[in-house]
Each structure stands twice: as structure tokens, then as C-alpha cells.
Amino acid sequence: MDLFDDLRQENRSKARPLAARMRPRTLDEYVGQGHFLGPGKLLRRMLLADRLNSLIFYGPPGCGKTALAHVIANHTKSRFKPLNAVAAGIKEVRELLAEARGHLEELGERTILFLDEMHRFNRAQQDVLLPDVEDGVIILIGATTQNPFFAINTPLLSRSQIFRFEPLTRDDIRTLISRALADKERGLGKQNVTITEDAMAFLVETCDGDARRALTALEIGVKSALAPENARPTPPAPLPKGKGSRHAKSL
């Protein structure tokens, strides 16, 4: 056991931005995308029944694709392995797939592979995933901001259910901001911050349906408002009388 693991984890948590700390943990905490995640809708039924097949999440930044993947990770009985296509290559993907096959054969448990920024994988990298997706070794959840019909191989698309994410509504953004201000565990609740209606309306309007942008702006505003007075730069001390003073007048 690593005695310093808790300290490292605490330090990592402190460094996380507000938008990351406020990610939903359950389906009930998730905000938005009611057209496929609302009561009785397809994806909610799949999650509640724990009967997922491969999924493609497609939509603009900040609309909840990664957040929903983390909700699925907390909800599902399968193993969950996140991977970012920006940082991973074929070698890392092959190693993860081999590990997933071994886990399935030994323990009978499937692996959910969440591949963020999936459009960053080229065709050859995407083809590596195909045999294990087809055989059911992994459940692929791919997230992309690009149109999947142009950015993702057709064989993968034919084996996946595509869900299109919409920008969050103004009411959704208001809910997220209010929740962040009230949450004392992960949000800004301990700082007793209040927000004016004008400030709320400004954030809701300017974030353009992007939850990450709204929460980042909120965090910056709160931190700057609560900055201690002594953080302001102190004015320079006056020059002493004498030559220095005469010199200053001549500048």
C-alpha cells in the first residue's frame, strides 16, 4: 500500500477545474440530452437494463459527451477503460484490447472502451478496433466533435448506435451554474458566493450552450472576486530627498 497515494489523489483533486469537479456521477445528476436520455428514451433504457452495445457520441464541445461516459462508468457492471485518441497510438490500443480479451476469458467480464476525440484516429488505427468490437470483446464508446459519417470508418459505424448531442439549453446552463454555486463538496458552496440575475443571464447567453465554458467563466469570476487585497501590487516607495529626488524631477 502506498502511504502517500491519498495525498497525491487529494492534490490532483485540488488542481482539477470546476467543470471537471462538477461532472455528474449518476443519471439523475446528468443535465441535458433529453431526446435520447430522458425517461423512457433509448439510451436510458439501455443503461438501466445494463445492455449496452457500441456507441458513438457526436456533438459540439461542452455538451456532455465525456460527462455521460463517466456516468456510464459509474453505472455499468462492465470494466471501464478511458483512452484519448490524441495521446494514444496503435501500440497502446493493441495492449488494451489484449488485456480486455484476457479479462473476458478469465473472468467473463466485458470492457467498455471510452475513446475520446475518436476522429483523431486515422483509418488504420480505427481498423484495429473492429475485430474486438465485432466479437463483443469490448463495448466501444467513441466521442467526436466531427460528423461521424465522414470521420469514422463505415464498418465501425454499422456496428454502433449513434447519438447526436445538442448544445445545452439556457435552462440547462442555469441549472449547472446554480448547482456549482451550491455544492459544498465539489463546487463553490463553501465560499458563500451569490450571483446577480444580470451576471447569470450574461453567463447563460455568452457560453453558447457549452457547459465547460460557463463553469470555467464562473470559476474565474469567483476567484478574481475573492482575491485578497494584499495580492494587489503595492505602489513604489517615494524616493528619498537629495540627489535621487532631483534626478526624478528631471525625468
Cα separation of 151 and 93, whole Å? 18
Query: Boundaries of CATH 3.40.50.300 in the chain?
Result: 32-164
C-alpha cell at 114: 471510452
Task: Convert the pLDDT of each residue in 130-148 to its tens digit.
Answer: 999 998 899 999 999 999 9
C-alpha cell at 20: 471537471
Q: Which residues of the chain have pLDDT under 70?
A: 1-14, 227-251
Query: Which H or E run contains 202?
Result: helix 197-206
Task: Convert the pLDDT of each residue in 147-200 to its tens digit.
Answer: 999 999 999 999 999 999 999 999 999 999 999 999 999 999 888 888 899 999
Question: Domain 32-164, what fold?
Answer: Rossmann fold (3.40.50)
Selected from 2.160.10.10, 1.10.565.10, 1.10.150.390, 1.10.8.60, the CATH number assigned to the domain covering 170-226 reads 1.10.8.60
pTM, entire model: 0.80
Instruction: Please name the residue that has the C-alpha cell 435520447.
Output: 36
In 3D space, the residue among 43, 44, 45, 47 whose CA is nearest the CA of residue 56 turns out to be 43
Q: Are 133 and 97 in contact (CB under 8 A)?
A: no
C-alpha cell at 5: 497515494
* pLDDT on residue 162: 95
Beta bridge partners of 218: none
**Residue 108 phi/psi, 5° resolution?**
70, 20
Q: Are 113 and 142 in contact (CB under 8 A)?
A: no
Query: Boundaries of CATH 1.10.8.60 in the chain?
Result: 170-226
